[in-house]
Amino acid sequence: MVGGLNTHRRMIARLSAAAGAPALSVAYRMLPAATLPEMVDDCLAAYRHLLDLGHPADRIVVAGDSAGGFLSFATPLQAIRDGLPAPGGIVAISPLTDLDHTAKLAHANLLLDPFIPGSRLPLLNDLLLADLAPDPLHSPVNGALSQLPPTLIHCGSTEILRVDSELMADRLAQAGVPVTLVIWDRQPHVFQIFADACREGLRSLTELGAFVRALPATRASGNRDTAA
């Protein structure tokens, strides 16, 4: 519902510099103008665009924060389902990964998160899914995760989406996907966007960039193509 190219430009620029890769920032349609499948379609179109330009899939890293973190998993899953190759890596910052909010509503962080009104998350589903029948596969945590690439997840210790970050990390590990989850002590939702005033945010972006640099395809080639 909020955010876009301008709100995230500085954070993406920092991540791009840390990764040593140009970044394609996707202005996907958002609520209330678009439903979840339309958002995924927009991100998938951006991924297809990079492939059509000749960027090898294993040198593309898909990254996102919050709702974009949801899309950073949903887009590769849809790409694989459509017969496209998986990207070389996934970077997720405070991602929403599960549209079943039962565990979040029962977690202590429901009362600690200063940004996301966790009790209203169920209302989000009505907007995201509109007239679609409920389906567990709408949540990336329930997808065919074994084909996903190496993944790095960063989140704050007191935010409600810590629950989703931990669940996705567990599911990826169970599926045999190399995954690392870093939980930053007492940091709020997407604290990386405050890197100008928050040294933890800057450190996090530096670590996320180092992860991209260390991915097998990019390490072997000596340079990265695109982080989307």
**What torsion, rounded to 10 degrees, do the Cα atoms 23, 225, 83, 129 define?**
-10
CA distance 224 to 221: 8
Residue 25: active-site member: no
Type and span of the H or E element at 154:
strand 151-156
Residue 38: active-site member: no
Catalytic option among 101, 138, 154, 189: 189
Please tell me whether residue 120 adopts helix, strand or coil conformation: helix
Residue 154: active-site member: no
Please tell me whether residue 63 adopts helix, strand or coil conformation: strand
Amino acid letter, residue 151: T
Catalytic option among 16, 25, 55, 66: 66
Amino acid letter, residue 7: T
Tokens for 135, please give them.
Answer: 């389906």
Strand partners, 92: 64, 153
CA distance 109 to 104: 8
Catalytic option among 94, 101, 138, 159: 159
Catalytically active residues, by annotation: 66, 159, 189
